[in-house]
Amino acid sequence: MLEVDRHPNIEVMSYSEVKSVSGVIGDFAVTVEHRPRYVNEIRCNGCGVCMDVCPVYAPNEFDCSLGPRKAVYKPFAQAVPNIATIDMDYCIRCKLCERVCELEAIDFNQHLKETELHVGTIIVATGFDEFKPYGLYGYGEYENVLTQNEFERILAPNGPSSGHLRRISDDKEPKRIAIIQCVGSRDRTKNLHCSGYCCMVGIKNAKLVKQHYPDAEITVCYMDIRASGKDLEEYYTRSRKHKIKYLRGKVSDVSEDPETKNLIVRVEDTLANQIRTIEADLVILSVAMVAGEGTEKIAEILKLERSSDGFIKEFHNRLNPIDTKIPGIYIAGAAQGPRAIGDTVASAKGAAAAASSPMITRKYEMELIKALVDEERCSGCTLCVKTCPYGAITMEEGVAKVDEVLCRGCGTCTSVCLSNAIALRYYRDEQMEAYIDALLAPEETVTEKAVAEEKVGG
Domain of residue 186, CATH code: 3.50.50.60
- Which three-class secondary structure state does DSSP give residue 146? strand
What digits encode the pLDDT tens for the residues 433-443?
Answer: 888 888 888 76
Tell whether 77 is covered by a domain: no
Strand 145-147 and strand 282-287: the pairing is parallel
How many domains, in total, are found in the chain? 2
Q: Are residues 272 and 420 in the same domain?
A: no
Tell whether 423 is covered by a domain: yes
Residue 450 pLDDT class (50, 70, 90 cuts): low
What digits encode the pLDDT tens for the residues 357-393?
Answer: 999 999 998 889 999 999 999 999 999 999 999 989 9
Q: Are residues 284 and 379 in the same domain?
A: no
Q: Are residues 272 and 387 in the same domain?
A: no
CB proximity list for 320: less than 8 A, separation 6 or greater: 314
What digits encode the pLDDT tens for the residues 231-251?
Answer: 899 999 999 988 899 999 999
Average pLDDT, the chain: 92
Tell me the mean pLDDT in the region 321-350: 94
CB proximity list for 265: less than 8 A, separation 6 or greater: 178, 180, 219, 221, 251, 253, 254, 277, 278, 279, 280, 283
User: What is this structure's pTM?
Assistant: 0.86
Q: H/E/C letters for each residue in 163-229?
A: CCCCCCCCCCCCCEEEEEEEECCCCCCCCCCCCCCHHHHHHHHHHHHHHHCCCCEEEEEECCCCCCC
The per-residue pLDDT for 430 is 84
CB atoms within 10 A of CB 137: 22
Q: Are residues 380 and 270 in the same domain?
A: no
Q: What percent of the chain has pLDDT over 90?
A: 81
What digits encode the pLDDT tens for the residues 126-181?
Answer: 999 999 999 899 999 999 999 999 999 999 999 999 999 999 999 999 999 999 99
Domain that holds residue 386: 371-440
Residue 328 pLDDT class (50, 70, 90 cuts): very high
Q: Are residues 258 and 159 in the same domain?
A: yes
The per-residue pLDDT for 229 is 84
Q: Are residues 264 and 404 in the same domain?
A: no
CB atoms within 10 A of CB 251: 24
Tell whether 266 is covered by a domain: yes
Question: Does the structure show a pLDDT above 90 at 455?
Answer: no
The per-residue pLDDT for 452 is 59
Q: Are residues 143 and 277 in the same domain?
A: yes
The per-residue pLDDT for 381 is 94
By the 8 A CB rule, do 263 and 255 touch? yes
Q: Are residues 286 and 417 in the same domain?
A: no
The per-residue pLDDT for 445 is 53
Tell whether 11 is covered by a domain: no
By the 8 A CB rule, do 24 and 407 touch? no
Tell whether 14 is covered by a domain: no
Q: Are residues 148 and 246 in the same domain?
A: yes
The per-residue pLDDT for 164 is 92
The per-residue pLDDT for 297 is 94
Question: Does the structure show a pLDDT above 70 at 253?
Answer: yes
**φ, ψ dihedrals at 31, nearest 5°:** -100, 125
Q: 271, 274, 211: which is closest to 243 by C-alpha?
A: 211
Domain end, chosen from 290, 324, 354, is at 290
Residue 91 pLDDT class (50, 70, 90 cuts): very high
Tell whether 160 is covered by a domain: yes
- Judged on CB neighbours under 10 Å (0-12, 13-18, 19+), 394 is middle
Tell whether 318 is covered by a domain: no
Tell whether 212 is covered by a domain: yes
Question: Does the structure show a pLDDT above 80 at 82?
Answer: yes
Tell me the mean pLDDT in the region 103-117: 95
CA-to-CA distance for 102 and 57, rounded, in angstroms? 23
Domain end, chosen from 290, 323, 353, is at 290
Question: Does the structure show a pLDDT above 90 at 285?
Answer: yes
By the 8 A CB rule, do 407 and 390 touch? yes
Q: Are residues 280 and 386 in the same domain?
A: no
Q: Are residues 263 and 138 in the same domain?
A: yes
Give the domain CATH number at 430.
3.30.70.20
